[in-house]
Amino acid sequence: MHIIVVGLNHKTAPVELREKLYFPSENIEEPLKRVTSLPQISEALILSTCNRVEIVAVTRDIREGTEEIRNFLSSYHGIPMSQLDSCLYSYDSCDAIKHIFQVASGLDSMVVGEPQILGQLKDAYSLANKYKTSNAILHRFLHRAFSVAKKVRTETKIATSAVSISYAAVELAKKIFDTLKDKVVMLIGAGEMSELAARHLLNHGVKEILIANRTHSRAIKLADVLGGRPVVFEDITLFLDQADIVISSTGSANYIIRSDDVVRVLKIRKHKPMFFIDIAVPRDIDPRINDISNVYLYDIDDLEGVVGTNIKMREEEAKKAERIIEKEIGQFNKWLGTLSAVPTVVSLRERFEEIRKKEVEKTISSLNGSSEVDVKVLDALTTSIINKILHYPVTQLKTLDNTREGNYFVDAVRKLFDLEEK
Amino acid sequence: MNTLFFKIVLVFYLAGTLSYLLYLFKQRPRISKAATIILTSGFVFHTISLILRYLEAGYTPITNLYEAPSFLAWAIVGVYLFIQFKYRVTSLGSFISPVASILTLVSSAFSKEIVPLSPVLRSFWLPIHVILAFLGDAIFALAFCAGVMYLMQEHQIKSKKIGSFYHRLPSLKLLDDINHYSLTIGFLLLTMAMVTGSIWARHAWGAFWSWDAKQVWSLLTWVFYAALLHGRINIGWRGRVAAIFAILGFFAVMFSFLGVNTLLSGLHTYDR
């Protein structure tokens, strides 16, 4: 039994192709059932997100199984193989295990370490469960992948730092103010970027949002959407003392907020810290205000710098994550190897032989050397009993091997007789 | 016995400091747990050592240059552990445990012999006055560490060079809050220590105030912290200014604590 992965992702295929291959989760039952009814495939799950479409399957024959799934993808979506071929990748055995562990840990994502993919993989797994296309191997495999992902998350700092401009801004705000619960935000300019940043801040519980825009009607409109309070553009400096966080993004050619405005406002605020985020080009806020004590100013380049450092840090952490994964692959692969009938039969026989020997020895020592019973006879008797008992299960295991239920029985036998690898 | 325990304490504090520093660089939860356990054990042994010393000597062990720094280190670790368990700011430990270790090392450099207490110190005012003063000093040590951390974090944010410390150090607000609270409590304790001290001085030396070196330095420190407190409350000093004040203030504290006894002489010099 082998694990294979066939699919494509944002690195190998353009979005036009990815969306054609997309499997909507509402209608996932049919393709799942079709994959598992392929002659070589015994278990399958379909992971379909906007960045990747992958089929994880268990097969008896790597080459044929892979080919079947590739053809399925092509025929199911009606895309000629010639078009698909260059974008599809396939992995088997250790490489497949490694790939799914990486995907689950977010190492294969566009933004390294992003947590969404783990949830999507969990959803894909539960759908496969729901439609009963997953069995012993995929159960064990996916649970392993989830726990590897968790390990990566707790033992590395892969997902701790912000890798988007607006998140970096929120993170900075938290490093300055600790909590954003009682903070007031002022948006100057009702652009898309500032709206996005404002939404992030709202999610972190800011108390109030003041919105000023040169065209006042737009300020009113955005205030409606965000639940904020519109402020007349000319009155910005009058309201500035209320704001803890100011996000500016107007198209103005001159500075809208000048250094002496801030100095004056800071006195009114009793020097309570202020955080200015200037995402406008040309800039809206006099850069000199960063020199004022308790005032922090970040422009778009500064924020991009922070994001850049964070991405570098994530990539460093990804190396650590790879090491964790490397260790786990070996362990899982070992377990997979035990799942075929032959090693299981061997260890089952060993287990029975062990018990038999122990009991025979006990009996002999309790007989105290009296020669009433021949030791050889005793041995022959017990051995033949064991062989008789094991005969049917062993043939059954061997015939079921390489069928759909085979792994299930092998796994059950290993559990029932405690044959797990220690 | 008490000196044996003291040696154990020293080992634990140094090991604890190393673990806390390691935690600063490798943010593994396991390391912080180990550091906390080591420092807490050190604190327990330290408490035992102090109790043994008290029983062996028959007085509160805070009268000479072996006993005093050790006692202050004990107070600092105690105050810190309380804060760590309450507010979970483990990174503070990386800054405060070196201070405690250094004080314990200073202590170990002086004679551990128990000498009979000079008659003037045989008073119930001794523990009251000195414990108040030491607790105040310990809390100022906290403000000192928070100040150093504030300056580091502020530098990271202001210069926009986000390094690894940015993620490891707590927020500016939290550090400034520590500054604010420890300043208030520390100042209260220092004031009480000075009041009880002068009442005791009235009995022991015959005057509330005698321009003794330690009194003068304590008064200077008190005025310094009073100015900072006033600035915080009335002028809105906070953040950087408050952090710098807390750092300078602690140097004054350390001088009136150790410097006065080793470099200057006065009525507070008992062990020479």
pLDDT in tens, B215-271: 888 889 999 999 998 988 888 788 888 999 999 999 988 888 777 766 666 666 655
Partner A contacted by B170 (CB < 8 A): yes
Instruction: Test B160 with A302 for CB contact under 8 angstroms.
Output: yes
Which of B28, B29, B172 shows the shortest C-beta gap to A273?
B172
pLDDT in the model for residue B52: 84
Q: Give the C-alpha separation, B73 to A158, whole Å.
A: 38
Q: Cα dihedral angle (B162, B85, A207, A302), rounded to 10 degrees?
A: 0
| Enzyme catalytic residues of A | 50
The CATH homologous superfamily for domain A2-155 is: Glutamyl-tRNA reductase, N-terminal domain (3.30.460.30)
Poorest-pLDDT segment among A153-167, A221-235, A367-381, B59-73: A367-381
Q: Give the C-alpha separation, A346 to A334, whole Å.
A: 16
Partner A contacted by B166 (CB < 8 A): yes
Residue A379, number of CB atoms within 10 A of its CB: 14
Order of strands across the sheet with A2-9?
A: A41-48, A52-59, A2-9, A89-92
Q: What is the mean predicted confidence (pLDDT) over A30-54?
A: 92
Q: What is the mean predicted confidence (pLDDT) over A361-390?
A: 82
Q: State the DSSP code for B211.
A: -
pLDDT in the model for residue A31: 94
Instruction: Test A175 with B157 for CB contact under 8 angstroms.
Output: yes
- Residue B204 — pLDDT band, cuts 50, 70, 90? confident
Partner B contacted by A273 (CB < 8 A): yes
pLDDT in the model for residue A371: 62
Q: What is the mean predicted confidence (pLDDT) over A57-77?
A: 92
pLDDT in the model for residue B152: 92
Q: Give the C-alpha separation, B22 to B18, whole Å.
A: 6
ipTM greater than 0.85, yes or no?
no
Q: Which range, A120-124, A402-406, B129-133, B193-197, has the best average confidence (pLDDT)?
A: A120-124
| Mutation choice for B interface testing from A150, A177, A178 by most B CBs within 10 A | A178
Which of A161, A174, A271 shows the shortest C-beta gap to B236?
A271
Poorest-pLDDT segment among A344-348, A365-369, A394-398: A365-369
Retrieve residue A85's tokens: 């071929």
Q: Name A201's Cβ contacts closer than 8 Å, sequence gap at least 6.
A: A170, A173, A180, A183, A185, A209, A245
B146 in Cβ contact with B180 (< 8 Å):
no
- Residue B272 — pLDDT band, cuts 50, 70, 90? very low
Q: Give the C-alpha separation, B194 to A176, whole Å.
A: 37
Find, in chain B, the residue whose alpha carbon is nearest to that of A266: B236
* Secondary structure E strands in A96-219: 184-188, 208-213
Instruction: Test B28 with A305 for CB contact under 8 angstroms.
Output: no
Q: Is the pLDDT of residue A113 over 60?
A: yes
Partner A contacted by B167 (CB < 8 A): yes
Instruction: Test B160 with A172 for CB contact under 8 angstroms.
Output: no
Could you tell me the sign of the dihedral formed by the alpha carbons of B183, B184, B190, B194, in that order? positive
pLDDT in the model for residue A422: 42
| Minimal C-alpha gap between A176 and chain B (Å) | 5
pLDDT in the model for residue A413: 86
Q: Name A242's Cβ contacts closer than 8 Å, sequence gap at least 6.
A: A184, A186, A210
Q: What is the mean predicted confidence (pLDDT) over A221-232?
A: 89
pTM: 0.73
Q: Name A2's Cβ contacts closer than 8 Å, sequence gap at least 6.
A: A58, A59, A60, A61, A62, A65, A92, A93, A96, A336
pLDDT in the model for residue B267: 61
Partner B contacted by A176 (CB < 8 A): yes
Q: Give the C-alpha separation, B95 to B225, whole Å.
A: 21
pLDDT digits (tens, 9 = 90+) for B38-49: 989 989 988 888
Q: What is the mean predicted confidence (pLDDT) over A40-54?
A: 92
Q: Give the C-alpha separation, A159 to A153, whole Å.
A: 7
Out of 3.40.50.2000, 3.40.50.2300, 3.20.20.120, 3.40.50.720, which CATH number does the structure's domain A165-306 have?
3.40.50.720
For residue A409, which of A421, A397, A391, A398 has the smallest C-alpha distance?
A397
Interfacial A residues in 241-270 facing B (CB < 8 Å):
267, 269-270
Q: Is the pLDDT of residue B6 over 60?
A: yes
Q: What is the mean predicted confidence (pLDDT) over B3-27?
A: 84
Q: Is the pLDDT of residue A404 over 80?
A: no
C-alpha distances in angstroms, A294 versus A73, A414, B150, B155, B242? 59, 65, 12, 11, 11
Instruction: Name the residue ranges covered by the structural domains of chain A.
Output: 2-155, 165-306, 338-416
pLDDT in the model for residue A186: 92
* Percent residues over pLDDT 70 in chain B: 94
Q: Give the C-alpha separation, A126 to A139, whole Å.
A: 10
- Residue B127 — pLDDT band, cuts 50, 70, 90? confident
Q: What is the mean predicted confidence (pLDDT) over A172-181?
A: 90
Partner B contacted by A309 (CB < 8 A): yes
